[in-house]
Chains A and B, each alone.
Chain A
């Protein structure tokens, strides 16, 4: 295998890693104020891709207008999911872990409804404005500007999410709710409002991931579960709650997956990937950048 081939695989791995990182970040966004992993997060990526195809190809909307509508629609569905499938369970201490089933059920409903509406055939979605799927060669490096756009947008969006948590009062309030829900309430912070907002933002962020990833992976109703699993891998490697860790974890998952295609068949590729993730977690159970979990006694 030539250097050019290896570099091309690495570019592909880093690009898909950026997508997995964004899925992991969306899981973090919904998790922070609730301690709930939204198992429908992968389907919101799928919805983003399918909505983008419908709006930009079917209705011929410009990319920016189409994307804005996708984010609003996905945000509204995220809010609906929180109201229907999460809030009633969190309000009742006896059903505290019921979200595992309820968010999974919501994802199944979304998946089957999408299958009926869009069909199961993969569809092409236009690239980000100014980017293209045409390959460019610089020295030994071959890439498309859409791949560069995905990597840059992933890094910029994660930086924006981190800035929100560290530099805005609402972001700090979300972290306060994550740390002590009742303590936050006694300071006038409404966990309910922040939870609804976080679910809506996480869904919109996932949908944005779908919009920018779809030109590379094609929009299809079957991509949600695969992306959710890879997003969870990135999350586990990076450490739950750590968005930069998620980026590193996503890159690692993407690169291992891509490079393993050299010698392994598709089935064994997933086995190899899982083996690498398990080995990493055996050495670092809290992830590459995750904080050690402690309990005060």
Chain B
């Protein structure tokens, strides 16, 4: 199966905390309009990889290209203006600020006028009706599911070309996980490229076009959900098998 032209491409990436590399020699791509999953056990390096792509961590080696331009080493706040949005793990909203202010802060970098900001906020409220009712409330008073929706809304109002989400279903009840995937489907339908880190493997593979399996900081396997489904590679990755074994399995 041929994949669309990549809008986000990572090659030979190494990144870690201090001198210890967590992720080594990683290559992956997200095509235009494509939904791609990054799977792997806890501690495999998925969140670290996303932080390196979004500019929160500085890679020690490798290349990251967004829409054909090198972006490695650029600051996170700069990349937001270039169309890359990262919804980080743990619903990193501003809990003391109101829901409406959180959404407004999502557009900080764009330099929009009041009318355009209000229009985009209304669009977000249309996608997440529960947030409209809670607009004046402090974001910290929202339920877990609503906080996750707010974090996604904050990113969506920027109209990103690539949206990276780190475990958006973490800690949510099954019915809310379904809701998250419904929203992700809507986002995809708008042509946004999605890179999704998730632990809900079955639902994720049912949603994406392509998936990478990360184990011990390296890409252990890659393929379409159907290709990965024909092997035991994903299950083995979550059981903590070594990358070399997994490569053989894939």
**A176 beta carbon closer than 8 Å to chain B:** yes
* SS class, residues of chain A in contact with chain B: helix
**B3 beta carbon closer than 8 Å to chain A:** no
**In the complex, which residues 43-93 of chain B have their Cβ closer than 8 Å to any Cβ of chain A?**
54-56, 75-77, 80-81, 85-88, 92-93
In the complex the two chains form, is B92's CB within 8 Å of A169's CB? no
CA distance A173 to B111 in the complex (A): 13
**B130 beta carbon closer than 8 Å to chain A:** no
CA distance A186 to B47 in the complex (A): 14
In the complex the two chains form, is A186's CB within 8 Å of B96's CB? no
In the complex the two chains form, is A186's CB within 8 Å of B109's CB? no
CA distance A186 to B92 in the complex (A): 9
**B158 beta carbon closer than 8 Å to chain A:** yes
Residue in contact with A190 in the complex, picked from B77, B87, B96, CB distance below 8 Å: B77
Chain B positions within 8 Å of A184 at CB level: 77, 94, 105
CA distance A208 to B25 in the complex (A): 55
CA distance A184 to B81 in the complex (A): 13
**Residue in B closest to A296 when the chains form the complex, CB atoms:** B95
**Given the interface contacts A188-B81, A188-B108, does A180 sit within 8 Å of B92 by beta carbon?**
yes
CB distance from B69 to the nearest CB of A (A): 18
In the complex the two chains form, is A183's CB within 8 Å of B108's CB? no
In the complex the two chains form, is B80's CB within 8 Å of A176's CB? no
In the complex the two chains form, is A187's CB within 8 Å of B97's CB? no
For A148-183 the 0/1 string (1 means CB < 8 A from B) is 000000000000000000000100110110011011
In the complex the two chains form, is A188's CB within 8 Å of B56's CB? no
**B209 beta carbon closer than 8 Å to chain A:** no
In the complex the two chains form, is A185's CB within 8 Å of B75's CB? yes
In the complex the two chains form, is A176's CB within 8 Å of B77's CB? no
**B226 beta carbon closer than 8 Å to chain A:** no
**A189 beta carbon closer than 8 Å to chain B:** yes
**B110 beta carbon closer than 8 Å to chain A:** yes
**In the complex, which residues 78-131 of chain B have their Cβ closer than 8 Å to any Cβ of chain A?**
80-81, 85-88, 92-97, 101, 104-106, 108-110
Chain A positions within 8 Å of B75 at CB level: 185, 190
CA distance A176 to B101 in the complex (A): 10
Residue in contact with A186 in the complex, picked from B88, B95, B110, CB distance below 8 Å: B88
For B144-183 the 0/1 string (1 means CB < 8 A from A) is 0000000000100010000000000000000000000000
CB distance from A255 to the nearest CB of B (A): 32
CA distance A185 to B109 in the complex (A): 10
In the complex the two chains form, is A187's CB within 8 Å of B154's CB? yes
In the complex the two chains form, is B96's CB within 8 Å of A179's CB? yes
In the complex the two chains form, is B56's CB within 8 Å of A186's CB? yes
For A61-78 the 0/1 string (1 means CB < 8 A from B) is 000000000000000000
Residue in contact with A183 in the complex, picked from B85, B92, B101, B158, CB distance below 8 Å: B92
In the complex the two chains form, is A172's CB within 8 Å of B76's CB? no
- The 3 A-B residue pairs whose C-beta atoms are closest, nearest first, are A188-B109, A188-B80, A183-B92
The chain B residues found within 8 Å of chain A, CB to CB, are 54-56, 75-77, 80-81, 85-88, 92-97, 101, 104-106, 108-110, 154, 158
Beyond A185-B56, A188-B108, 9 additional contacts (C-beta under 8 Å) are A172-B101, A182-B76, A183-B94, A184-B77, A184-B105, A185-B75, A186-B88, A187-B109, A190-B77
Q: Could you pull out 19 A-B pairs where Cβ atoms are within 8 angstroms?
A: A169-B104, A169-B108, A176-B97, A179-B97, A180-B94, A183-B93, A184-B105, A185-B56, A186-B76, A186-B88, A187-B105, A187-B106, A187-B108, A187-B109, A187-B154, A188-B108, A188-B110, A189-B77, A189-B108
